[in-house]
Amino acid sequence: MRILMVTSFPIVGQTDGTAMLAIQIFRALRRRGIEVAHAYLKARRPWDAPFEGEFEGAPTFTLPPSRWIGGMAEIRKRFPFDLVHAEHYGGACRALAACKLHGWPMIYSIHSLLGEEVERDRLGRGLVFRTYRTLERQVCRYASGVVVLGRGVKRIVVEEKGVPADRVAVIHPGVNLADYAPGPAAEIEGVGPDEKVVMYVGNIRDPNQGVPILVDALPRIFDAVPEARCVLVGGPGEVGEQYRARLGRHGDRLVVLSGRTPDQVTALARRADVLVHPRLACRENDSVQTKMAVYLASGRPIVATNYGDYQHILGDTGAGLLTPVDPEPLADGIVEVLTDRTLAGRLAASTRSAAEEYVCMDRNVDRYLALYETALAPGPRRRRREAGTPA
């Protein structure tokens, strides 16, 4: 089996959550012996020429808009792929015309709901958004399977986008658990060895991440646990400065670390006394985010706001303490973990089994392979697709 992974973003040299989600799948497939190539269908600088490179020994192709269709056909001549795995609505929408023209099966992996929260801020409600919305509806009708990152997203895709439930699979973001073997914790400048670390990993600006809830909880935490410090691992750094100003006299107890590599993040997470995910209760957060895979794999106690799939990933497994989406109960939950060693130990001990069930990439890849095999199996839907008629 050969897979062409298509994205609307580069993956070479990238470490953000969106790119890492695709990269983890890419790597896991290759560990299973599946041949994978990557096509980056770029929109910016449309006058650029196509470019061929490599990513970890596999071919990667960068195609400007004028080459999205013809370029994918040329890739198939050189790399006769069986199926297109399209990441994010950008990759799926840009690959749709070529897939429909040639009858190539597609698996569409939804990172976030088009038009919700962050995507609304980026796209607005103008021509670009309306075009993507129209194309994504066609993608959902065409795709042999749709992957979503949470049960709430599956419900929306079925009820609002009209995709049959048996074509929608919930596969949470995964990581290679072998990358999280025990090792030394990172030293953090400004944090003493005896101080307790409340840590958040990820984007600190996007509103759906809920970082302001954590920042507003910090004075209550610092008053209850004087030796506590908060470390935000992510950017942009200027937003961290705004949070320090917001904290007033507590501002010097907030450390912001931007531009860290995945290996550095792993070492930093080992230093955390509690990992926090204070996400908001909104449709954008129906998708489980990549940071939850990092948190579970790190084996540290977790406190998170109770929304969406976190009830069964953290609450039902005992791997995390869940709180309402509000600064005061979030602060109380964090203080409880910082001051109760038995509770902290119990939460940490439960993370491994939860990680193996929900975010182990070697297990997740079995789910992707099952989708691929279904998409490639003979049947009426495949015959209609190859004939160029609506699926």
Q: Distance (Å, rounded) from C-alpha 270 to C-alpha 258?
A: 17
Q: Distance (Å, rounded) from C-alpha 47 to C-alpha 106?
A: 27
Average pLDDT over residues 382-388: 55
Q: What percent of the chain has pLDDT over 90?
A: 79
pLDDT digits (tens, 9 = 90+) for 188-203: 999 999 999 999 999 9
Q: Which pLDDT does position 156 carry in this prediction?
A: 93
Q: Which pLDDT does position 89 carry in this prediction?
A: 92
Average pLDDT over residues 112-136: 69
Identify the helix (H) or strand (E) that includes residue 199.
strand 196-201
58-63 and 51-55 as β-strands: parallel, antiparallel, unpaired? antiparallel
Q: What is the CA radius of gyration of the chain?
A: 22
Question: pTM for the full model?
Answer: 0.89
- The residue with greater pLDDT, 332 or 14, is 332
Q: Which pLDDT does position 183 carry in this prediction?
A: 87
Bond preceding residue 301 cis, omega within 30 of 0: no
**Domains assigned to the chain:** 2-174+361-387 (3.40.50.2000), 177-358 (3.40.50.2000)
58-63 and 320-323 as β-strands: parallel, antiparallel, unpaired? unpaired
